Homo-oligomer: A and B are copies of this chain.
Amino acid sequence: MFSTSCLGNAFGGDADEPFTVGIGQYDDFHTIDWQRDLTRDRLRHKFIKKKSHESVCNAISSVIDAGSGWICVLFVGIAAGCVAGIVDISTKWMSNLKEGVCPDAFWFDKVHCCWSANDTFFSGDKCSAWHTWPELLGHYEADALAFFVEYVFYVFWAISMTGLAVVLVRVFAPYACGSGIPEIKCILSGFIIRGYLGKWTLLIKSVGLALAAASGLSLGKEGPMVHLACCIGNIFSYLFPKYGKNEAKKREILSASAAAGVSVAFGAPIGGVLFSLEEASYYFPLKTLWRSFFCALIAGLVLKFINPFGTEQTSLFAVDYPMKWSYIELIPFILLGTFGGIVGTIFIKGNVRWCRMRRNSKLGQYPVAEVFGVTLITAFLSFPSEYTRKSSSDLIQQLFNRCGPEDVSELCSYKRNAESSEDPFEPALYNCIWKLIVVLVFKIVITIFTFGIKVPSGLFVPSLAIGAIGGRLVGIAMERIAFTNKEAWWWGLHCERGRTCVEPGMYAMAKIDLLFTLLEDRFFLVSLVVIMFELTGSLEFIVPTMAAVMFAKWVGDALERKGIYDAHIALNGYPFLDNKEEFIHNTVAADVMRPRPGDPPLRVIPQEGMTVGDIEELLRCTRHNGFPVVVSMDHANLVGFVTRRDLSLAIASARKTQECVVTDSNVYFSAVAPSAAEGPGYPMPLKLRKLLNLAPISITDQTPMETVIDIFRKLGLRQLLVTHMGKLLGIVTKKDVLKHINQLENDDSYAILYS
């Protein structure tokens, strides 16, 4: 009955590698245990190191293994740059498609079409080679009709594009919608969402993003770009088992990918590294900093090489203001900061309420109809105004611009060569102010409803646009004040003539920070400010911008403590332990641990004495993700910890491969165990010590919760064991901690006072 294979024990060997397929992996929607994964990597490393001395071939593969992180991020950087370039080019082409087409070469966008035609007359807006739809269809008789046809085409294309995007997303890759940043944050913090970073998501999101961005909806393509880069990182990590098979190590690649994503989205490599450092990466081992840096650099280089916008500019919205700022201007900057804080809070609250309503009402069942509706409204209302018809990026660029002498736009209706005493403001400018106010309100409202629909959508460009409009308005007002009071002492030395000492575009530039700060996450301001400076290429206004950001932060904090992404994480109920918020309560581990008073006692496994059947029964009856192993049922001294998945896999595999393991077989977790049956008639023992995590982190029951949270955050744990005088008392999981925090937050409004 007992074959020879039963004499040895498959799980008692000395191999340093995981001995059963699947052990050490995680289920969907589970949280990873960083320390355990890193230990696994260390064992793998040790194994390779040992082998490397055996042969030249092994030595080479050991060196390749050491360099594989660099190689992987190199690939990721190249691929991210290429994908970003393709998305940028196709967005531009499709965006122009709404207005017209290049009949000679339909694959050209407007700018390239006009270039290829070699027109002598090309004022930036019109050229002979490019045909708008009415022109193409021959409707020249009446301007009104042409306008109408143009309008119809505009709306038609917008709806077709978003329609295609939403259908693609619904059918092929449901994870491809939204901005993806909240989920990326959770994934980087150690959460598993299978398929979220898969190849289908990458493909569909790239296409859908280009379509959605081109459709004229109030959305940006920067957030989704980070998601795309992370998909690329995930896909490439499977080329290297070191990263593909170890979730903790994979996150090092994903951090670098996120940096590359920001780098290509904003043309801001340093901002990307900081974003990945501060925001996205929960458990950021500092050595990955260099890889992120490298990855962001490569991605930026590749994108620069592709040069999708046809400009040589490395910064997206290059500005060049020659003037200095005077101290008095800190006041409007601070006002802008305050205003930004308020608008941001309105936006967050409105958007979260709308998303909650969508989820709880019937609306949530008709996402396609919602997308059509939002697109129809947006396109219908956008077309009439020149400020909303053009793409948000063009609008931002226009708002940033200084009014040059040849600038004929409404925004620049100043009297040229006016005498210093004469009022340089023309009536058209006042007209323009009203238009801008309407556009501002429209943008805020429509963005609240747009962020969260089922197409790929980011928030950066819309919030930039809102901020830039607000900033420009304040800028014009300041210009007016400066003109009226140009003799006043408080203008300082900078202002000899009223006109030149205030630059409205500058305010537009500063404002973008504020709102963005609010919208994204109030904590990662440094990376934000750096991104801003990389984006605009201007460093002169660091100090006023920082002041504005500070005030936006203070106002925002007073009104609402969560950034939009954190609000969405909470909305979706992801187990994300924010590593920035402070915990100020006085509870201790004993208050949070399970079993709660009155619950049945903690399910533990004694290191010897349970049979295979007992354990199978235990696995059947409970849903815990792991079990502490103790000396014996009477002496609850902790020996180690075993996860549910490993245990069930190991037992199932032993049952299958070793016929001598039966229901009555004793299971041994102890170091010393009989290697054979204790006598005839007794079943073969099953040794599972290899499964055991011998170094589970334990704390005492009196440990303050602040320390507990600190340990969870910083060590990236999945659970903590609670002991009292060396005896195991209970267990605290990440979800228990999150539940506890939420409970206290809802109970206690005191927390807000001590921010």
Q: Report Cα–Cα, A297/B287, bound state, in Å.
A: 29
Across the interface, A543 reaches (CB within 8 A) one of B314, B324, B586, B637, namely B314
- How many protomers of this protein does the assembly include? 2
| Cβ–Cβ < 8 Å partners of A148 in chain B | none
**In the complex, are the beta carbons of B314 and A707 less than 8 A apart?**
no
Q: Report Cα–Cα, A293/B526, bound state, in Å.
A: 8
Q: Is A315 close to B, CB under 8 A?
A: yes
Q: Report Cα–Cα, A404/B39, bound state, in Å.
A: 60
Across the interface, A304 reaches (CB within 8 A) one of B63, B543, B580, B723, namely B543
Q: Is A695 close to B, CB under 8 A?
A: yes
Q: Is A465 close to B, CB under 8 A?
A: no
Q: Report Cα–Cα, A312/B727, bound state, in Å.
A: 67
The distance from the CB of A617 to the nearest CB of chain B, in whole angstroms, is 26
Q: Is A624 close to B, CB under 8 A?
A: no
| Cβ–Cβ < 8 Å partners of A9 in chain B | none
Known pairs A290-B553, A726-B637, A726-B727; A547 contacts B297 (CB<8 A): yes
Q: Is A488 close to B, CB under 8 A?
A: no
Q: Mark A316-351, 1 if CB is under 8 A from B, else 0.
A: 000000001001000000000000000000000000
The distance from the CB of A118 to the nearest CB of chain B, in whole angstroms, is 18
Q: Is A437 close to B, CB under 8 A?
A: no
Across the interface, A586 reaches (CB within 8 A) one of B42, B290, B301, namely B42
Q: Is A289 close to B, CB under 8 A?
A: yes
**In the complex, are the beta carbons of A38 and B706 less than 8 A apart?**
yes
Across the interface, A269 reaches (CB within 8 A) one of B290, B305, B546, B725, namely B546
Q: Mark A630-642, 1 if CB is under 8 A from B, else 0.
A: 0100011111100
Q: Is A82 close to B, CB under 8 A?
A: no
Size range of the chain A interface in the assembly: 35 or more
Across the interface, A293 reaches (CB within 8 A) one of B525, B540, B636, namely B525
**In the complex, are the beta carbons of B699 and A301 less than 8 A apart?**
no
**In the complex, are the beta carbons of B526 and A273 less than 8 A apart?**
yes
Known pairs A537-B539, A543-B300, A700-B695; A45 contacts B584 (CB<8 A): yes
> In the complex, what residue of chain B is closest to A34 when comparing beta carbons?
B710
**In the complex, are the beta carbons of B42 and A706 less than 8 A apart?**
yes
Q: Report Cα–Cα, A370/B711, bound state, in Å.
A: 49
Stretch at the interface among A373-381, A418-426, A527-535: A527-535
Q: Report Cα–Cα, A314/B323, bound state, in Å.
A: 12
**In the complex, are the beta carbons of A699 and B695 less than 8 A apart?**
yes
Q: Report Cα–Cα, A582/B715, bound state, in Å.
A: 15
**In the complex, are the beta carbons of B539 and A637 less than 8 A apart?**
no
Q: Report Cα–Cα, A586/B584, bound state, in Å.
A: 38
Across the interface, A542 reaches (CB within 8 A) one of B314, B324, B725, namely B314
| Most chain B CB neighbours (cut-off 10 Å) among A38, A301, A526, A529 | A526
The distance from the CB of A696 to the nearest CB of chain B, in whole angstroms, is 7
| Cβ–Cβ < 8 Å partners of A274 in chain B | 274, 526
Q: Is A64 close to B, CB under 8 A?
A: no
> In the complex, what residue of chain B is closest to A696 when comparing beta carbons?
B700
Q: Is A754 close to B, CB under 8 A?
A: yes
| Cβ–Cβ < 8 Å partners of A640 in chain B | 700
Q: Is A753 close to B, CB under 8 A?
A: yes
**In the complex, are the beta carbons of A542 and B270 less than 8 A apart?**
yes
Q: Is A286 close to B, CB under 8 A?
A: yes
Q: Which of A697-736 contact B (CB under 8 A)?
A: 697-700, 702-704, 706-707, 710-711, 714-715, 723, 725-728
| Cβ–Cβ < 8 Å partners of A537 in chain B | 539-540
**In the complex, are the beta carbons of B286 and A579 less than 8 A apart?**
yes
The distance from the CB of A534 to the nearest CB of chain B, in whole angstroms, is 6
Q: Is A277 close to B, CB under 8 A?
A: yes
Q: Is A523 close to B, CB under 8 A?
A: yes
The distance from the CB of A45 to the nearest CB of chain B, in whole angstroms, is 7
The distance from the CB of A529 to the nearest CB of chain B, in whole angstroms, is 6
Q: Report Cα–Cα, A538/B640, bound state, in Å.
A: 56
| Cβ–Cβ < 8 Å partners of A637 in chain B | 725-727
The distance from the CB of A525 to the nearest CB of chain B, in whole angstroms, is 7
| Cβ–Cβ < 8 Å partners of A753 in chain B | 63, 66
Q: Report Cα–Cα, A580/B297, bound state, in Å.
A: 21
**In the complex, are the beta carbons of A534 and B523 less than 8 A apart?**
no
Q: Which of A624-671 contact B (CB under 8 A)?
A: 631, 635-640
**In the complex, are the beta carbons of B66 and A754 less than 8 A apart?**
yes
Q: Report Cα–Cα, A753/B45, bound state, in Å.
A: 13
Across the interface, A312 reaches (CB within 8 A) one of B305, B324, B697, B715, namely B324
Q: Is A430 close to B, CB under 8 A?
A: no
| Cβ–Cβ < 8 Å partners of A525 in chain B | 289-290, 293
The distance from the CB of A650 to the nearest CB of chain B, in whole angstroms, is 20
Q: Mark A261-275, 1 if CB is under 8 A from B, else 0.
A: 000000001100110
The distance from the CB of A283 to the nearest CB of chain B, in whole angstroms, is 9
| Cβ–Cβ < 8 Å partners of A175 in chain B | none
**In the complex, are the beta carbons of A703 and B695 less than 8 A apart?**
yes
The distance from the CB of A566 to the nearest CB of chain B, in whole angstroms, is 14
Known pairs A694-B700, A695-B707; A297 contacts B539 (CB<8 A): no
| Most chain B CB neighbours (cut-off 10 Å) among A530, A584, A589 | A530
Q: Is A550 close to B, CB under 8 A?
A: yes
Q: Is A243 close to B, CB under 8 A?
A: no
| Cβ–Cβ < 8 Å partners of A579 in chain B | 286
Q: Report Cα–Cα, A542/B553, bound state, in Å.
A: 29
The distance from the CB of A49 to the nearest CB of chain B, in whole angstroms, is 7
Q: Report Cα–Cα, A699/B553, bound state, in Å.
A: 40
| Cβ–Cβ < 8 Å partners of A35 in chain B | 707, 710
Across the interface, A694 reaches (CB within 8 A) one of B38, B534, B580, B702, namely B702
| Cβ–Cβ < 8 Å partners of A294 in chain B | 550
Q: What are 15 pairs between A and B in contact, CB < 8 Å?
A: A39-B704, A39-B706, A45-B584, A46-B586, A290-B553, A293-B546, A534-B539, A631-B725, A636-B726, A637-B726, A695-B699, A695-B707, A711-B715, A714-B715, A715-B715
Where the two chains meet, the residues of A that have a C-beta atom closer than 8 Å to any C-beta of B are 35, 38-39, 42, 45-46, 49, 63, 66, 269-270, 273-274, 277, 285-287, 289-290, 293-294, 297, 300-301, 304-305, 312, 314-315, 324, 327, 523, 525-526, 529-530, 533-534, 537-540, 542-543, 546-547, 549-550, 553, 579-580, 582, 584, 586, 588-589, 631, 635-640, 694-700, 702-704, 706-707, 710-711, 714-715, 723, 725-728, 750, 753-754
Q: Give me 15 other A-B pairs in contact (C-beta within 8 A), A45-B584, A287-B582, A637-B726 excluded.
A: A35-B707, A42-B586, A63-B753, A274-B274, A286-B523, A293-B525, A293-B546, A294-B550, A305-B327, A312-B324, A534-B539, A710-B715, A711-B715, A723-B726, A726-B727
8 smallest CB-CB distances across A and B, nearest first, come from A637-B726, A726-B726, A695-B703, A694-B702, A714-B714, A637-B725, A286-B580, A537-B539
